[in-house]
A and B are shown apart, each in its own frame.
Chain A
Amino acid sequence: DGGITQSPKYLFRKEGQNVTLSCEQNLNHDAMYWYRQDPGQGLRLIYYSQIVNDFQKGDIAEGYSVSREKKESFPLTVTSAQKNPTAFYLCASSPGFPYNEQFFGPGTRLTVL
């Protein structure tokens, strides 16, 4: 089955620790995205990548880092510099950029204790 997978589904970390969220897609999509969603809020774009080895900051990139070494993979690292990391993190992909619809993975709920 083609799709987007994110792991883990739930993640708990202590304050001050870096944590990496996984996102893999087998849809052969060129573009991939990371969003953050807080309760009662809309999706906010963290980073996006239009092509392998290239990525751009979104609206709230501070405290996050990404890499795009393979077309299928777009991991997100939440660093200790991110002031309020507890949130629902969603990864998405699209066949092209920027006009195509995006398809989402199931998300990772990160709780920083």
Chain B
Amino acid sequence: RKEVEQDPGPFNVPEGATVAFNCTYSNSASQSFFWYRQDCRKEPKLLMSVYSSGNEDGRFTAQLNRASQYISLLIRDSKLSDSATYLCVVNPSGTALIFGKGTTLSVSS
């Protein structure tokens, strides 16, 4: 099993749609979880950290399910500017962060 797995997509949705991405991780002792956003040919940028209790930042909601070892990202009311690749990132206990390959989102008008 790969350390961090994501559905590569692409997810093609209309403006205003709600879209959810899931990510699974293999190391049950992982301590830190993040979602990053990467635009084409740009650097990844931190979107949000993921906490055990779940957290929300505007239209974005992240949740962690430790028992099933997956992380989710929900985007409500999608905007054209949300089009990007979303990277799931996990710290598998005491080593450097592991990045998933990303899920591509395309929002159309």
* Residues of A bordering B, CB below 8 Å: 33, 35, 40-43, 45, 48, 58, 88, 90, 97-107
Contact = CB atoms under 8 A, between A and B. Distances in A.
Contacts of A97: 96
Interface string B74-107: 0000000000000100010011110111100000
A104 B43 contact: yes
Nearest to B100: A42
Nearest to A40: B101
B49 A48 contact: no
A90 B96 contact: no
B43 A106 contact: yes
Contacts of B59: none
B96 A101 contact: no
10 contacts: A41-B101, A48-B96, A90-B43, A98-B32, A98-B91, A98-B95, A99-B31, A101-B49, A105-B43, A106-B42
Interface residues on B, range: 20 to 34
A33 B96 contact: yes
Contacts of B44: 43, 90, 104
B29 interface: no
Given A40-B101, A97-B96, A101-B49, 12 more contacts: A33-B96, A35-B99, A45-B96, A58-B96, A88-B41, A98-B96, A99-B32, A99-B91, A104-B44, A104-B45, A105-B43, A107-B43
Contacts of A105: 43
Given A41-B101, A42-B101, A98 B94 contact: yes
A34 to B, nearest CB: 11
B93 to A, nearest CB: 8
A66 B34 CA distance: 27
Contacts of A103: 46
A28 B96 CA distance: 19
A16 B95 CA distance: 33
A97 B94 CA distance: 8
Nearest to B34: A101
